[in-house]
Amino acid sequence: MVPSELRGWNISREVAMVPITGVEPKFVAFWIASITCQNWLTDVVKGVAYSGINIEDLRLLPVALPSLAEQREIVRRVEKLFKLADAIEKRVAAATLRADRLTQAILAKAFRGELVPTEAALARRENRPYEPASELLKRIQSARAAPQEPKPKRARQKNA
C-alpha cells in the first residue's frame, strides 16, 4: 500500500503500482496475502532464471469485493485477530522462557541429588547396610593390590 502523497515516485522493476479506487486498501492487502490469492499468483508466475508476475496477469487477479462497509469490518476484525495473535505469541515466548529456566533448575537439582532420596537415605529408612562410594573405592583398591593367583592356562586344541 502506498499513500497517495507518494504518487508519481519512481518504483523498482519488482514492484507494481496498481491504482485501486473505491476499496479499502488494507482489505486488498489482506486479500493479496490470503492463501487463495497466493495460490492464484503462484499459478501465473513466469520466468525461469528470474521469475515474476506479469502486470497483465496481475490485472486479471480476481478480488472478492464486498461492500465498503463490509471491507472495513473485515479489516477491523483481521487487525483485532492479528493483535490477539501477537499477544498469544508473546505469552508463548514468555512461557517457553519459563519452561527453559525450569528445565535448567530441575537439572541442577537432579545433579545435586535433591530430586529423589539418596541410596544412603533409602538404606537408613529400610534398615539395611549401605556402602558409601569411598568405602567401595577402598575395597576395589585393596582387591587390585592383593596378589592374584595366576589363571590356569588352557590347553590348545589341535586341529583334526
Domain boundaries, the chain: 11-65
Residue 51, helix vs strand vs coil: coil
**CA atoms of 32 and 35, how far apart (whole Å):** 8
Q: How confident is the model at residue 160 (pLDDT cuts 50, 70, 90)?
A: low
Q: What is the pLDDT of residues 56-87, one digit of tens each?
A: 888 888 888 899 999 999 999 999 999 999 99
Question: Grid coordinates in use for 110?
Answer: 537432579
**CA atoms of 23 and 68, how far apart (whole Å):** 6
Question: Grid coordinates in use for 37?
Answer: 490469492
**Stated pTM of the model:** 0.57
Mean pLDDT of the chain: 87
Q: How confident is the model at residue 31 (pLDDT cuts 50, 70, 90)?
A: very high
Alpha helices in 23-118 (DSSP H): 25-33, 35-43, 55-59, 68-112
Q: What's the CA angle centered on 78, arms 77 and 82, to 5 degrees?
A: 115
52 by Cβ neighbours in 10 Å (0-12 / 13-18 / 19+) ranks as: middle
